[in-house]
Amino acid sequence: MKNSLEIKKKLYKACLFFVEEKHHTVTSIIESNKKALFTETKSSAGDKHETGRAMLQLEMEKASQQLAVIIEMREVLAKIEIQKPSNISCLGSLIITDKAAYFSAISAGKITIENTDYYAVSTNSPIGKQLLGKSIGDSIPFNEAEISAIY
């Protein structure tokens, strides 16, 4: 197998990039909506104006909630100690199973490194919860199947 520490570093960087991209997108939406709120003028169609402002306010609230999730993801990533070896899966672990390879971090989805797919999963996700605290050779039930942790 490839050097797991190097793979973990690459997965960690990919997760950081994922969070930064999400942050950039959400802040762009917030800025665009702020600009729209300030530039919208009251027209003779008063109800239409109020509806437009209400929709922008809803979008702003949604973006603010997304921003809170992004901040939480950053906090989780800040807790990861890539260099720390462990025989028990924890935050920051690379878990290779007979079904897939997982990186216990944030829910960033599939990340391909050196032609191998890894799944960045949160410890709060169903699979993340199942993998947490497992050791080499342990098995877990997931989606009506048995997953065996290799290392």
Element (H, E) at 79: helix 46-79
Element (H, E) at 116: strand 116-122
CA-based end-to-end distance of the chain: 11
pLDDT in tens, 62-91: 999 999 999 999 999 999 999 888 889 999
Torsion angle of C-alpha atoms 74, 75, 78, 82, degrees rounded to 10: -90
- Average pLDDT of the chain to the nearest whole number: 87
Q: What is the pLDDT of residue 44?
A: 47
> Is the per-residue pLDDT at 1 higher than 50?
no
Give the pLDDT band (50/70/90) at residue 45: low
